[in-house]
Structure 1
Amino acid sequence: MVDDTIPVRPGEELEINVLEKFLRENVNGLPNEPLNLQQFSNGYSNLTYQLKMGEWEAVLRRPPLGPVAPKAHDMEREHHILSAIHPYFQSAPEPILFSDDESIVGAPFFLMERKHGLVIDNEFPEGIAPTVERCRRLSHVMVNQLADLHSIPYEKTKLMEISRPAGFIERQVVGWISRYERAKTDEIKELMPLIKYLQQSIPKYSQTSIIHYDYKINNAMFNQDLTEMVGLFDWEMATVGDPLADLGVALSYWTEVDDPELIKIGLGHASITTLKGFLTREEFIETYAIRSGRDVSNIDFYVTFGYFKLAVILQQIYSRYKKGQTNDPRFSQLGKTVKSLLAHAANVAAKEV
């Protein structure tokens, strides 16, 4: 089994004695063995830890350190989402509990099921060759799971209690523009034409489904032969909204070999989706349309918005870095990536105008 955890990073430690006491008071059936704490190495945002006591294990998620954007990193909401989705979509981890007692780990947090499998980012695990056939099959797993998530009868879940599907995409465009303006650090010439395009091109009609809204290959976990998805993580943005917005976001992460260099390596390395055999974005769209039966004729708007949304997320992180609210060296070059994403989005938009 591939080890996907690391020792806890300096500055991100938890009070292990306080946490263990809380667990023993609130989780049934824990073994009489000490708590062991590790951290998951992936991720730029929320802090995620592995908890182990003998054979018992779980995952703890809490918000990042320092001030965060309003309504972002809502642990209670993510716990609620998993509670609603897990019965219909087994790749979603089963939630265990939520706590808003900030004295335990310094912020609200929740516990969820620990899943095991392979998480893939910029390379295949040792011993698994990246053959064309394997890359293509993995692509289809990603597309099919997204389409299947969108087929869940959302009306039967409790997600409607925290969702407003009517007017979803218009609120998203307005909201993400506002988030960018609050986190702005540099002048970028492509920004205003891009914003104008997004404001003027909002679809008059949109579809409705449960959406993950941060769907990418390194948020997924696969079985040992990469034929099934056994886990899908980072549900904090999930809601009931426009499935094509979810598809557009997924495509913004799905880089191709001919993409601009900063799009491919903006987060430090190229995604495996640039390898031969992976579906192109166009093939991803076509495959999704067949699997879901949905009309994808206006997907270019959603892809443009997907790039813009990703740029805003990275800009928020970069803004926190510039203000000294986090000192993670991975964040120092995100400003260049934001500029490249906005320029790429503007180019996609220009082809539509």
Structure 2
Amino acid sequence: MSELPGLDLDKLAEHLKVEKLSGELIPGGRSNLTYRVTDGTNRWVLRRPPLGHVLATAHDMSREHRVISALGPTKVPVPHAELLCEDTEVIGAPFYLMEEVRGTAIREQDQARWITPEKATTLSHQLVDVLADLHEVDPNEVGLGDFGRPDGFLTRQVSRWGKQLDNSRSRDLPGIEELRERLAGTVPDSPRPTIVHGDYRLDNCLVTEEPLGISAVLDWEMSTLGDPLTDVGLIYVYWAGLNIEDDPITGTVPSLPGFLTADDLVRRYADRTGTDVKNLGWYIAFGYFKLAVILEGIHFRFTTGKTVGAGFEKLGQFTLPLVQQGLAASKEQ
């Protein structure tokens, strides 16, 4: 096969100056498209934006490439960045290549059968500790001092995701305007700004069994400089999910024996970093809002034939439950 949805392997081979490439779409991503490619000797992972309806700054390949390049020398595990191509003539969109890292993105319980309760606890701790390591990186020391604008970060975030909702709206979504207005009217004071991942969760990490650990953090498309508690609030959302059977938000992996609760994750983060988490209810509510907007964007792209991926046809039904969870969390501030 010389062509995949969104990736012409013949043109890519010509650009890389290799004779022939084979590849496959890596399932599970809900935004940017990810492929595994090889020339028979070398193996890479390629990232490109969705096939259409690209919202401004949401799928910037150069940002992803820049941040993983900068974090390479730090304690934060990231793949080695191999190549950035912003020439859309090659495959029809900007893309970058990175090394293929050993490990599995654990999204479902069937992938986690080998995880004993003891290993689940250890992995929970490591998930928090890697996030703490990220937030402890000095942006200036790794060349990311201009990677974002921390002043007014939360206000802009609420506005930005509200605008992305407007750009992806194709149906009535009861309660989402109330949630947006409540968030905008109760923005807390932020702690010291850090590099934030923007979508940190277990299945955006690669996990190895031997040795047990996180071998790489992936999907840096929403990374910037800002309030570290946005990462903490969002991982709380991903961990707690919707509390339903076959929860698509968590994949129900955190419910397996030995994994910490969402509250335990927050406590470990607070103990490790010394960060005050008393206003975390706002960040949790914002996490539910942000995830609702993301799923609504995927629903919009899927219904217009502009993205590909297993299970995308089901995601739209979870937007409103996320909104309701966000409203509930916002009342607990």
TM-score of the aligned structures, taking structure 2 as reference length = 0.92
Residues 1:146 and 2:131 are matched in the alignment: yes
Gaps of 5+ in 2: none
Q: Which amino acid aligns with 2:300?
A: S
Residues 1:92 and 2:78 are matched in the alignment: yes
Q: Indicate conservation of the 8 Å contact 2:23/2:38, yes or no.
A: yes
Q: Indicate conservation of the 8 Å contact 1:90/1:230, yes or no.
A: no
Alpha-carbon RMSD: 2.3
The equivalent residue for 1:108 is 94
Residue of 271, 275, 296 corresponding to 2:277:
296
Residues 1:194 and 2:187 are matched in the alignment: no
Spell out the pairing of 1:178-217 with structure 2 (5 A cutoff): 178-217=163-202
Q: Give the Cα–Cα distance (whole angstroms) in 2 for the partners of residues 39 and 329 of structure 1.
A: 11
Spell out the pairing of 1:306-317 with structure 2 (5 A cutoff): 306-317=287-298
Percent of aligned pairs with the same amino acid: 35
Q: Which amino acid aligns with 1:53?
A: D
Deviates further, 47-56 or 212-221: 47-56
Q: Indicate conservation of the 8 Å contact 1:211/1:240, yes or no.
A: yes
The equivalent residue for 2:148 is 163
Q: Give the Cα–Cα distance (whole angstroms) in 1 for the partners of residues 144 and 265 of structure 2.
A: 27
Instruction: Tell me the SS of whatever aligns to 1:70.
Output: coil
Deviation, 1:329, is 6.5
The equivalent residue for 1:283 is 264
Spell out the pairing of 1:41-56 with structure 2 (5 A cutoff): 41-56=27-42
Instruction: Tell me the SS of whatever aligns to 1:51.
Output: strand
Cα gap change, 1:16/1:270 in structure 2, threshold over 3 Å: closer, same or farther?
Answer: closer
Q: Which amino acid aligns with 1:93?
A: P
Deviation, 1:124, is 5.0
Q: Which amino acid aligns with 1:22?
A: H
Instruction: Tell me the SS of whatever aligns to 2:109.
Output: coil
Q: Which runs of 4+ in 1 moved over 6 A?
A: none
Q: Which amino acid aligns with 1:265?
A: D
Residues 1:238 and 2:220 are matched in the alignment: no
Q: Give the Cα–Cα distance (whole angstroms) in 1 for the partners of residues 75 and 94 of structure 2.
A: 25
Deviation, 1:142, is 0.5
Cα gap change, 1:70/1:298 in structure 2, threshold over 3 Å: closer, same or farther?
Answer: same
Cα gap change, 1:20/1:309 in structure 2, threshold over 3 Å: closer, same or farther?
Answer: same
Cα gap change, 1:34/1:11 in structure 2, threshold over 3 Å: closer, same or farther?
Answer: closer
**Residues 100-127 of structure 1: CA deviation (Å, up to 9, x unaligned):** 122221111111111112321112547x
Q: How many residues align?
A: 333
Q: Give the Cα–Cα distance (whole angstroms) in 2 for the partners of residues 270 and 221 of structure 1.
A: 15
Instruction: Tell me the SS of whatever aligns to 1:159.
Output: coil
Residue of 79, 82, 88 corresponding to 2:68:
82
Gaps of 5+ in 1: 1-6, 25-29
Q: Which amino acid aligns with 1:16?
A: L
Q: Give the Cα–Cα distance (whole angstroms) in 2 for the partners of residues 20 and 289 of structure 1.
A: 47
Deviation, 1:54, is 3.1
Q: Which amino acid aligns with 2:41?
A: E
Deviation, 1:226, is 6.1
* Greater relative CO, 1 or 2 (CA 8 Å, sep 6+): 2
Q: Give the Cα–Cα distance (whole angstroms) in 1 for the partners of residues 134 and 54 of structure 2.
A: 29
Cα gap change, 1:189/1:49 in structure 2, threshold over 3 Å: closer, same or farther?
Answer: closer
Q: Indicate conservation of the 8 Å contact 1:117/1:230, yes or no.
A: yes
